Structure 1
Amino acid sequence: MPQSDLDTSRSSAQSEPAYLRSVFGANLRELSKSAPSIAQLCRDLRINRTQYNRYLSGEAFPRPDVLHQICTFFKVDARILLEPLADISNGDVTYTGGGSRIRAAIEEAGIAQVDTNKLVPGAYVMMRRSATDPEYLVVTLVSVRQEPDGSMQMFGLLTRTLAERVGLPTSIRGRRMNGVFFQHPGGFSFLAIVRNMPIWDMGFLENAFMGNPNLFYGYSIVTQRFVAGGQLIAPVAFKRIGSTMRDMMAVRHVIGYTHISKMSQPVQQIFSKSDVTPT
């Protein structure tokens, strides 16, 4: 990769948490609609109005204690960092952009329901080797949850860095990714679809890397080559993280286009040993 691209990638990786601020800001704007006024709301929360406006616009992110204060006040949890408010508040919601279509395939195939003791619902980081630079990973924060019909669904946002690099829409709506997991004797396969785009990511993950029940690894294939010489097949891993505000904020620095050296040792082992012949 040219040095200029590396510099841009490093800069973008450092600013990638901006998309988390965008999700949080959008949810906070929706929650704030119930208040008689923003001024009164700021007084009740004991937060400076100028700073609160920066939260609303996605320009700033609150400290953990302030974030906890906001979540407690509105009676919501840390998922407001990741999922649209409508998905959090409506337990019967069906994800658009792939969920309903995939559900029919599950029923027709008769694949067993996913074992939630092995693939525990919650927050995960999805890591895939870059198609252009083997020393970098595309790291995405995703939410895995079991739907009322028993299927295990996945929701996430493609990073803004990745969207910009491959020419995809950079709006939050345009970067939404939905998927579903299938269970097999040795692990799980998954199918993920980018909202309103003919881009599918299909992969298989083996259970428990080196005995770690929260770390899954394998390979995935995408249905579109975004850059000349880019690989369709690449190593992939999912790592479960806690769902508290502290857990969410702890991983925000690796979200985006991230050098492998910044990841944990088990993750580095996965991607240092994984090799794929270009296709």
Structure 2
Amino acid sequence: MLNKNTEHFDSPEFLRGVFGHNLRKLTSEHKSVAQLTRELGINRTQFNRYLSGEAFPRPDILHKICAYFERDARILLEPIEKLDNAKADNVRENVNIMPMISRMFHFDHTRVPDGVYRWIQPSLMRRGRIVLNLVHFTTLPNAMKQVTVAFPRFMAEASGTSTQWRDRKQIGMAFQHADGFSMLFKYPGLEPFFNSFFSLGFRGISTVKAGFTTATQMSSTAQSQAQPAILQYIQGGCSEVLQARRQCGEIDISSIPEDQQDYLRNWSPFAPGVDT
């Protein structure tokens, strides 16, 4: 049993005792120690030192032990009974988020190049109108794709929130998918998260991405929780970006190409996918 009366819970001696206790518990539920060490490829004498709390395993040996018993490195720090209770009570122990994380680190930056994009979607305030906004994509040093977007100024004014750039700006992340990419972000001062998905092209045009965006909030009966959206890469330099910036706001839908108008008007979350 662990000596819980010691005053040095973070001392090497106590931690070795925790690991030894946990390893003895795990070993008792499996085969003989001799057979176990053969399967792990660990020296029997050294394994006995782990069991008795005399030594810690090297990182590579710890990885073997954790993988064999399907545990994580917390067996170095906390009694296994406590970890088992937490596992039963905490659903995150049963959720594997690594596939989602890998989509962030394996982003195809050639299909979605860094730069500024025009965000186009129907206005929630007036029929026949669209909202133009800008989105900035940046590749981080760790190869993840960062998304910077700002809550439109006119919508901030209408909702009574701050119109300052620092208060409207939000940083999000992009996730790679087989036939497109998604983005997750949250505007400052607003409760819902926004999740968007876009294809890698629109009717043969690689610089235009068609998709939709949703909010994690119940909408009024007059509004849909999902809206079609279009991303258009702004080619050129600072002058083209500044011109697009001046165009941001709410404008008539007739200001954009007809094929984009058709997509925004005809898209439905319950209809078959629109040809992109």
TM normalised by structure 2 equals 0.56
Confirm whether residue 219 of structure 1 aligns to residue 212 of structure 2.
yes
Q: Deviations over 1:93-136 (max 9, x none)?
A: xxxxxxxxxxxx77863225211111011010112222233422
**1:135 counterpart residue number:** 128
Alignment gaps of 5+ in structure 1? 1-104
What's the offset of the Cα at 1:276? 4.8
Task: Tell me how far 1:147 sits from its aligned partner.
Answer: 0.6
Matched, 1:209 2:192: no
106 and 229 in structure 1: CA distance in 2 versus 1, 3 angstrom threshold: farther
User: 1:36-51 maps to which residues of 2 (within 5 A)?
Assistant: none
Q: 1:117 to 1:108 in 2, by over 3 A?
A: closer
Task: Give distance in 2, aligned partners of 1:226 and 1:162.
Answer: 16
Distance change >3 Å, CA 194–CA 211, structure 1 → 2: same
Q: Is the 8 A contact 1:136 1:258 kept in 2?
A: yes
Give the Å deviation of 1:213: 0.5
Equivalent of residue 169 in structure 1, options 162, 165, 172 = 162
Give the one of 101, 107, 111 matched to 1:114.
107
Q: Supply the AA of the counterpart residue of 1:137.
A: I
Q: Which runs of 4+ in 1 moved over 3 A?
A: 105-109, 224-228
SS in 2 for 1:195: coil
The structure showing larger relative contact order (alpha-carbon pairs under 8 Å, at least 6 residues apart) is: 1
Find the aligned partners of 1:181 and 1:226 in 2 and give their Cα distance.
25
Q: Which amino acid aligns with 1:120?
A: P
Q: How far off its partner does 1:258 sit?
A: 1.8
CA distance in 1, matches of 2:98, 2:126: 35
For residues 154-184 of structure 1, what are the alpha-carbon distances to aligned partners after superposition, in whole Å with 9 as ceiling and x for unaligned? Answer: 1122221111223332222221122111111
Amino acid at match of 2:175: F
Tell me if 1:274 matches 2:267.
Answer: yes
On the 8 A contact 2:100/2:175 being kept in 1, the answer is no
231-240 vs 109-118, which moves further: 109-118
Give the distance between the partners of 1:232 and 1:167, measured in 2 at CA.
Answer: 21
User: 1:268 is paired with a residue of what secondary structure?
Assistant: helix
- Paired residue secondary structure (2:222): coil
SS of 1:156's equivalent in the other structure is: strand
Alpha-carbon separation, structure 2, partners of 1:274 and 1:177? 27
Asked whether the equivalents of residues 162 and 257 of structure 1 are also in contact (C-alpha less than 8 Å), the reply is no
Aligned partner (choices 248, 256, 259) of residue 252 of structure 2: 259
Which structure 2 residue ranges, 5 or more long, are not aligned? 1-96, 271-276
Larger Rg: 2
- Which deviations, in whole Å up to 9, do the C-alpha atoms of 1:72-98 show, x marking residues without a partner? xxxxxxxxxxxxxxxxxxxxxxxxxxx
Q: Aligned to 2:224, what secondary structure does the other structure show? A: coil
% identity of equivalent residues: 21
